[in-house]
Amino acid sequence: MTESIPEFAAFVAMDWADKKHVWALRVAGSGPVEKGELDNTPEAVESWAAQLALRFSGRAVAVALEQRRGALVAMLSKYAHVVLYPIHPNTQANYRKAFYPSGAKSDPTDAALLLELLVKHRDRLPPLKPESEETRKLQFLVEERRKLVDPKTAFSNQLTGWAKQVFPQLLVWFEDISSVLVCELLQKWPTLAQLKKVRPATLEKFFREHNCRPLERIQQTVQAIQPAVVATTDPALLEVAQLAMLSLVGLITELRHSLSVYDKRLATISQAHPDFAIFDSFPAAGPVMLPRLIAAFGTDRQRYPTAVHLQCHSGIAPVTESSGQPQWVHWRWACPKFVRQSFQEWSHLTIRFCGWAKEFYDRKRQAGLGHHAAVRALAFKWQRILFRCWMDRQPYLESRYLEALAKSSRRQAAPSAGSAQRPKIVMKSCGSFTKLEGLTS
């Protein structure tokens, strides 16, 4: 059931900026367009919103802007009489090109075009409907956490680069150079020369305190230190490398601490979320991916009427461009990139924990698809399963899915009653995906 949209007293479009916002307003049923500017401060926005409420007696006002999340959206979201309509920047840019092919652009013009989009094409612009508080917390947290993972990876790569020049043995003795063990080892003994001076008993104790197992591996590492040869004796390189490596170790340690804080908060909020049991039942939905799946779906069951809407919105479903005979299938460019990344990364992890997922992925690779295309094809399939469990509020049971899959296969293979010839299933190819096109006899 679709939620009813209120009858608006006025329509407003706002071209936002860092210092001043340009707005255009049209009263419902009236022709003239009013224009003005608004300072980008909470006080100015408060005064402007209060004037709208007073002028239209608290009736709903539709406001269009090129933001889905940001400072202006945060300031306007707290007013009950303001209904936000976020418009994608590409939509605004292409609409502008239709009327200004010369490329002419100005803030008042953009505000007028946004207002025209809102008034004439509002039926194609879904209003912003905030998720529950728990879901919005997860959405913010998982994205901010990811922003810390990328620099940690970059710093680890830099640390690896320096180690290759002055301390390459670290890459042989330890699997992860950014681990707590290696970082604290470098803080104590940043060079091989210093490490060689440490007594074996001291090193063994250090490794045991950092949960390095098994004992045989500790002894092998300790025994490998003494005969190790320094990679270079260049004093300039050694001095700069030591400073750089210690700086990188400090940054990695700080990021690791921040990530642990995020992980604890995410675990608390996820376990209290009403959909936790649904997504916790899926393979590879661990402490990192489970909150990202919850954040991608949300709690509003009207947001995605069908699984196809989810697949298209997330960017997993491919796009087909055709003109006459030529046809081109490519992945979706305009989509929430983090949501697509979440589904792809999680689907890739399921290959290790789910038998049918690995078989499906291997089949796609054998058919000639690259790794990423095969993972997206798997994500496309997983999304239909996720969607059904989410809509029915039921946990995932692999045995139930495999049983339904077997029944579907038997039903498709069985001949129809009263038919002398078995119908053939015609599948239409779409990039790395296939879909049922129809039946022929």
Please tell me what DSSP assigns to residue 78.
Answer: T
- Stated pTM of the model: 0.82
Tell me if 364 sits within 8 A of 432, measured CB to CB.
yes
Indicate the average pLDDT of the chain.
89
pLDDT of residue 165: 96
Q: What is the DSSP pairing of strand 61-65 with strand 10-15?
A: parallel
CA 205 to CA 185: how far, in whole Å? Answer: 12
Residues 6+ apart with CB under 8 A from 308: 317
Q: How many helices (H) and strands (E) does the chain have?
A: 18, 9
| Buried/exposed 160-170: b ≥16 CB within 10 Å, e otherwise | eebbeebbebb
The SS3 of residue 199 is: coil
What pLDDT does 57 receive? 93
Q: How far apart are CA 354 and CA 397, in angstroms?
A: 12
Domains and CATH numbers, the chain: 10-130 (3.30.420), 136-270 (1.10.287.4070), 277-400 (no CATH)
Neighbour count for residue 400 (Cβ, 10 Å): 11
Q: What is the pLDDT of residues 354-378, one digit of tens each?
A: 999 999 999 999 999 999 999 999 9
pLDDT at position 422: 41
pLDDT of residue 416: 52
Residue 409 has pLDDT above 90, yes or no: no
For 20, phi and psi rounded to 5 degrees? Answer: -135, 140
Confidence of residue 298 (pLDDT cuts 50, 70, 90): very high
Among residues 166, 178, 140, the alpha carbon closest in space to that of 266 is found at: 140
**pLDDT of residue 382 exceeding 90:** yes
Pure H helices in 68-191: 71-76, 89-99, 107-120, 133-166, 169-173, 180-188
3-state secondary structure of 354: coil
Share of the chain above pLDDT 70, in %: 92
Sign of CA dihedral 294, 299, 303, 307: positive
Place of tokens 């989810």: 310
